[in-house]
C-alpha cells in the first residue's frame, strides 16, 4: 500500500488541496511577527478542526497552504475556518493592521483551490516552500 494513503475507520484516502487567498486590497502585512503568528494559528486551527497542513508560506499579501483532509471535511469548510479565525485573531493581536484595512476585514472573500494528486505532491510542496520573497 502507498505511504501517502491515510487509513480511517470507514475509508482509505489521499485528499490534498493547494489553497491560496489574499489580504484585502493586497496590503503587504504578512511579514515578521504577523506572519509568524498567522502560521502558528493556522497550525492550531488545523489540529482543532482535524486536517493537516503539510506546507505553508506567506508572501506579504497572500498565503499558500498544502492541506490534507478526511473526505468528510469539505475544502470550503477548511478555508472558512482558516480565514475566519485568523482574521479575527490577527486584528486582536495586531490592532495596527486595521489602519491599512477597513471594516475589520482582513481577507478577500475569494480564494483559489485545486486538488493535488499524489504524483505532484512534492512539486506543490516545493513550490509553496519557494514562494517566500517572490512577486
State the pLDDT at residue 135. 61
Does the residue 135 lie in any domain? no
State the pLDDT at residue 93. 97
Looking up cell 512534492, which residue turns up? 122
Range of the domain at 37: 6-129
Does the residue 36 lie in any domain? yes
Q: What is the pLDDT along the chain (135 residues), one digit of tens a residue?
A: 457 888 999 999 999 999 999 999 999 999 999 999 999 999 999 999 999 999 999 999 999 999 999 999 999 999 999 999 999 999 999 999 999 998 889 999 999 999 987 656 778 788 888 887 766
Let me know: does 84 contact 118? Beta carbons within 8 Å.
no
Does the residue 22 lie in any domain? yes
Task: At 113, list the grid cell.
Answer: 483551490
> Cα separation of 87 and 134, whole Å?
24
- Told to judge if 37 belongs to the known catalytic residues of this protein, a careful annotator would answer no
State the pLDDT at residue 123. 80
- The catalytic residue among 13, 37, 112, 127 is 127
Q: Which of 13, 16, 47, 1 is nearest to 114 (CA)?
A: 16
The residues pairing with 13 across neighbouring beta strands, listed in sequence order, are: 6
Does the residue 110 lie in any domain? yes
Q: What is the DSSP letter of 89?
A: H
Alpha helices in the chain (DSSP H): 32-49, 75-93, 121-129
For the chain, the domain total comes to 1
pTM to 2 decimal places: 0.86
State the pLDDT at residue 134. 67
Q: Which of 121, 113, 124 is nearest to 74 (CA)?
A: 113
119: domain CATH number is: 3.30.70.1290
Environment class of residue 66 by beta-carbon count within 10 Å: exposed (0-12), middle (13-18) or buried (19+)? buried
State the pLDDT at residue 116. 84
Does the residue 134 lie in any domain? no
Does the residue 1 lie in any domain? no
State the pLDDT at residue 81. 98
Task: At 36, list the grid cell.
Answer: 509568524
Amino acid at each position: 500500500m502507498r505511504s501517502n494513503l491515510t487509513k480511517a475507520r470507514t475509508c482509505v484516502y489521499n485528499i490534498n488541496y493547494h489553497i491560496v487567498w489574499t489580504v484585502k486590497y493586497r496590503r503587504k502585512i504578512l511579514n515578521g511577527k504577523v506572519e509568524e503568528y498567522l502560521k502558528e494559528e493556522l497550525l492550531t486551527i488545523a489540529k482543532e478542526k482535524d486536517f493537516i497542513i503539510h506546507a505553508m508560506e506567506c508572501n506579504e499579501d497572500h498565503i499558500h497552504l498544502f492541506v490534507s483532509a478526511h473526505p468528510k471535511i469539505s475544502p470550503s469548510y477548511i478555508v472558512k475556518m482558516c480565514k475566519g479565525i485568523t482574521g479575527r485573531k490577527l486584528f486582536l493581536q495586531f490592532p495596527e493592521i486595521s489602519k491599512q484595512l477597513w471594516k475589520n476585514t482582513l481577507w478577500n472573500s475569494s480564494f483559489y483551490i485545486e486538488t493535488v494528486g499524489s504524483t505532484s505532491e512534492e512539486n506543490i510542496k516545493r513550490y509553496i516552500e519557494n514562494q517566500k520573497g517572490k512577486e
